[in-house]
Each structure stands twice: as structure tokens, then as C-alpha cells.
Chain A
Amino acid sequence: MSDWKSYTPVLIPDIPNLHEINVYVKNGGYESLKKVLSKDWTPESVVNEVKAANIRGRGGAGFNAGLKWSFMPKPDGGPRYLACNGDESEPGTFKDRKIFEYNPHLFIEGALIAAYAMQVTTIYVYIRGEYRSWILMMEKALKDAYEKGFIGKNILGSDFSVEFHVTGGAGAYICGEETSMLESLEGKRGYPRVKPPFPAQKGLWGRPTTINNIETLACVPLVIERGADWFSGVGAPTHPGPVLYGISGHVNRPGVYELPTGMPVLQLIDEVAGGMRNGKKLKGLIPGGSSTPILRGDSLEGVNMDADSLREAGSMMGTAGMIVMDEDTDMVEMLWRIAYFYHHESCGQCTPCREGTGWLEKILLKIKNGEGEIRDLDLLLDLTTQMEGRTICALADAAAWPVRHTINRFRDEFEARCKQSTFALA
């Protein structure tokens, strides 16, 4: 997108005090909710419209939100839940808090439309405990929406009723994993659940539950207002829509930027984020949160921020939380810190993850301290294959990928840090 400056943000538009409900309503807010609650829309037609828009989950997995909604079983008169994931703990990710702060009612409206589409009885938004300031903002926004009659019994005179509550975590990365979040919501240690049964069958308190990311839900009112065709026409065809790019690291203007998907990564770094700090060269980029494989700075020509282009380049879209590293970055230090993070955050349920993350961290620490040997690199790579895909949730994979790809893509740097072999070759 050459004229990115002319793009007008729609998820977080530049409207002063939009977080206040009156300002939001004055700017057309809650009109999409009114629209779906009118006679013209059935829950099924909402699901179909959202499915057609192809909103790919913005929490990292990139799954079609409408398709996910369609997995909910038919209502049986019992409680059904929508759990909104505002845990946002993947390093490099800091976008959903912008929605809580600047446009909370867009998210609330999206969640309400989702609740209507799936005939949900109660919505919970789970926000990481560290975001205390943003939890308070959401509590205020929900209170206002209740008072205006957008939440509660017989919303806007329709026969649709739903409750909506905020709840918070208390410091655990794993609670961003959907079933771990359900455990945490139920007041327990955040141990991920074995799937199946999937949450749509047995979620909160054994009842049908859908989990969606905050940004994903914030896209929903726009789809209803402007239509699925509009949404799927923005950005990359196979991964469409506006997206919040969180750009951090060694750039001049870090921050959250709303632009279409499919932006060239080099344009995001060089133009949008103001280029590299101190005129340094780009060495590496983690495109979508710390678990997505790092890409070499010299391999980014022609790579765009969408699932297909990033897969081809050898990485993933994740949360679009881009961590930019300049030529002075010590890849060994950087990778050790990521391994430390996953070791700290492993919940400890599954042995390959509990032990594996510990070994990754220990071996990398040894290499970082100049005590490593070349064969330790192969031991690390071997460990990653022993961890990947052998655990209940994807945390082990998330820990293994950065180790494997950083070593493979910056191997010379790791070898240079290892001790010279003392064994004779012959």
C-alpha cells in the first residue's frame, strides 16, 4: 500500500473521546447492534455474514471467526458463553489495550453481536491482571452500556438478553491459551484442557463456549455496518481486513498502527514506524509475537504481513506484534531471554514442556556465558523436535520455534559464541 498515510483507521478512528459512550453513539455506534436485532437479521444470517467476511482471528491462530461461531451446538435452553480473550501476553503484543482505552464500545458492540449470533446468555471479557488500568476502563464502559440498555434484559426492546462481565487474571502467560483461560475464569490454576471436547461442546462449566480475541470482535460491527464484501476487500485477499500492527524494538516511532493486512514489512518498518533507530541496519524481525519464527533482515524484500506471505517467508502472522532488531542485537542474548520467558511461563502440566523449556533456557544460558559447545546447538535443535506437538497446548511449540529458527537463521553467531572443539577431527 503506497499511500498508507491516506488510510483512515476504522478500529481506532481518530475521534476525540470516542471511549465515552455518548461520543461513540453520536458517531454511529451501536447501530450495527440495532441492525442485527431488527427483524431482517437472524442469528444464522449474522454468522453467515461474518463467516463470509473471513475475519481471521487476531489473537494469533488466524481462524475464521464466523466459522468458529458456527461450531456452537443448537441452543438447548441452558447457559451458553462467549469468553473474550484480552489476556494479551505474547511478548511484542500490545494492541488490545488500545481498543480498551480508545474504542471499548466497538469491542462491546462486536461481542454483543457475536452473542446474538450464537444465542449466548453471558459474556465474559478476561483481561490480564497487569492491565489493571484497562480493566477499570472496561468496567466503566460496560456500566455505561448497561445503563443505556445495550446490555441486559430485552436489549433495545428485542427478545435478546445477555449479561456481560469483566474479569481479570493475575499474571500468567498461559491464560491466553483458550482453555487455560476458561480454567482461570472458573477460578482455578490455568492448566490448559485436553481437546476434544472443544470449548464449543464443553467450555465454561461444561457448557457451550466460544473464545474470541478482542480485536477480532471489534471487527464485527464493521462487517455488519459495511458488509462482508467490504471487509474481505480490505488488505490481503486471503487474510483480509484492517489490523492493529504493534511495532516495537529498534525503530524510531514504535507504537500501534492500524492499517490493512498485507502491508510490506519493510514499508511498516521504514516508513510507518519511522525507520531504524540511529540509522542502524535491520538484522532481524519477529513478525507476530515472540513465538513466531524470526526472519533475517536481509530476507524481507517482498514479504507482506499476511498469513500466506509470512508462511512462504518461513514465519507466521501471529498477533502482528512486530519486534524489530538492529545490527547490534546479540541474537544469543535475545534468544536466551525468550527461552527464559517460556520456561517461566510453562504451566508444568506436560513433561516435554516443563522440562524442555528448562533445558532450552539452561543450554542457552551456558552458550551465552561462553561455556557452550558446538554440539549444544544440535542438542537444542533436537530438543525442539522432542517438544513440538507432544503437549496438551501449544506453549511447547511456541517455545521450540524461536529456538529452532533463530539458531538455524543465525547459526554463525551461535557457533562463534561456543567454545572451540578440543577433540581431534580424525
Chain B
Amino acid sequence: MANQYEFTPEDLQEIEDIKSKFPEVMPATLPTLWVAQRRFGHVEPDVQELVANTLGLPFSHVHGVATFYTQYYKEKKGKYVLDVCTTTSCQLCGGYDMLHYLEKKLGIKKGETTDDGLFSIQSVECLGACGYAPMMQITNDIYVNNLTEEKLDEVIKSLKAGKMPEFESVGMPQHTERS
């Protein structure tokens, strides 16, 4: 059966641009998997095969890379993947409370996806936002900092309406307040 996945001409151009950064093709593996995941929402084995064929690399190599890194979704996930950080600083500041609140609110456990395919919840390792704990990341993209139950309610409501929260710049406390 032919591979059901195909890159668009824009994707292929992006992949060419990526390849031009490196003296060899192999370094394009990780960034090309990213292009694929942004296009298809996951990198199931068929997508890994597409990446391998596009780059002219063995499938085994691409599969090896895709399975090493946690951010690549090796199976279909919800449209919004809620990665709740529960590592040390977030753990200390209530990361697990936020995780459990989300689980209860959406009626699923971590690692699961809602029936409507809208949300998946994951408990993840440190995301490097320790000063703004507890926090989560949405589908490998926007960080939502200083979570509270109310803030989670708002975020879920906005995501249900198809709206991603915007990037939130957290200033340096030493800097003077600016609006």
C-alpha cells in the first residue's frame, strides 16, 4: 500500500533549507521529523518512512531517532497535547495538583486522549520554566506559566474555541515595571 502521507511543496522547500545548514543529510533528521509532525500531527511509522524516503536515509535510522526523543508523537494524539510539568520545582509548587485537576476536568488520565480527539494529557519532565511553576506546554509550543485551577479553566475554554494562548513573556524581576 502506498504511503498515505505526503509533504507539500512548501514542506519540501523547508526541508531543503534545513539540509543546507549541514555538510551531510543525516543532521536533517530531527528538524525534518519536526516538519512532519507539524504537518501531520504525529510521526507514526508511515510518517517516519516518508521522512526516511525524503532524506534518502534508512527507515531504521529515522525510527531510531523518532523513538529516542520524547517530543515526537509516535502515535496519534489529541489536537491539543497538554504537557504538565511535574519535575522538582513544579512538583514543589503544585504541578501534580494541576495535573490531577486537568485529569478530573477532562475525564481522562495522563497518557490518554479525550473521545472527541481534542485533548491529550501528559506528565512531563522539566520544561525549563522553574521560576514560573507550576506550568504546562501546549502541543510542543506555547508555555502557560503560574498555573492555577482558574487559569486552567480559562485555557481549556479558549482551546475548545480553537484559540491557542499567546506567548507570555515573563520579565526579569530586576527590571523596572513596564507596561
Contact = CB atoms under 8 A, between A and B. Distances in A.
Nearest to B132: A254
A89 B174 contact: no
B178 to A, nearest CB: 6
Interface string A236-277: 000000000011111001111110000000000000000000
Interface in A311-348: 321, 323, 325, 329, 333-334, 337-338, 341, 344-345, 347
B131 A246 contact: yes
A188 B26 contact: yes
A338 B126 CA distance: 10
A130 interface: yes
B88 A338 contact: yes
Contacts of B174: 9, 14, 257-258
Contact of A189 (B28, B64, B131): B64
Contacts of B140: 129-130, 132
B124 to A, nearest CB: 8
A168 B31 contact: yes
A11 to B, nearest CB: 10
Contacts of B130: 91-94, 246, 248-249, 254, 321, 323
A167 B21 contact: yes
Contacts of A71: none
B89 to A, nearest CB: 4
A85 to B, nearest CB: 13
Contacts of A9: 172, 174
A203 to B, nearest CB: 13
Nearest to A165: B21
Interface in B116-143: 125-133, 137, 140-143
Contacts of A337: 86-88, 91
A187 B29 contact: yes
B109 to A, nearest CB: 17
Contacts of B178: 16
Interface in A5-25: 9, 12, 14, 16
Interface residues of B, number: 50
Contacts of A186: 24, 26-27
B33 A170 contact: yes
Interface residues of A, number: 63
B34 interface: yes
A185 B27 contact: yes
Nearest to B43: A170
Instruction: Name the prevailing secondary structure of the B interface residues.
Output: loop
Nearest to B130: A248
Given A91-B130, A337-B91, A167 B27 contact: yes
Contacts of A205: 23-24
A266 B102 CA distance: 36
Contact of A248 (B26, B125, B133, B169): B133
Contacts of A202: none
Contact of A247 (B29, B69, B131, B137): B131
Interface stretch (A96-104, A213-221, A223-231, A355-363): A96-104
A342 B21 CA distance: 32
A183 B88 CA distance: 28
A255 B173 contact: yes
From B93, B140, B143, B174, name the one whose CB has the most chain A CB atoms within 10 angstroms: B174
Interface of A: 9, 12, 14, 16, 79, 88-94, 97-98, 101-102, 128-133, 165, 167-173, 184-190, 205, 246-250, 253-258, 286, 290, 321, 323, 325, 329, 333-334, 337-338, 341, 344-345, 347
14 contacts: A101-B169, A102-B172, A130-B127, A133-B142, A133-B143, A187-B28, A188-B65, A205-B24, A254-B130, A258-B172, A321-B130, A323-B130, A334-B92, A345-B125
Given A187-B30, A323-B88, A341-B126, 18 more contacts: A9-B174, A14-B176, A89-B125, A91-B126, A92-B88, A93-B130, A94-B129, A171-B69, A171-B70, A186-B24, A188-B29, A189-B65, A205-B24, A247-B131, A249-B89, A255-B173, A256-B172, A257-B174
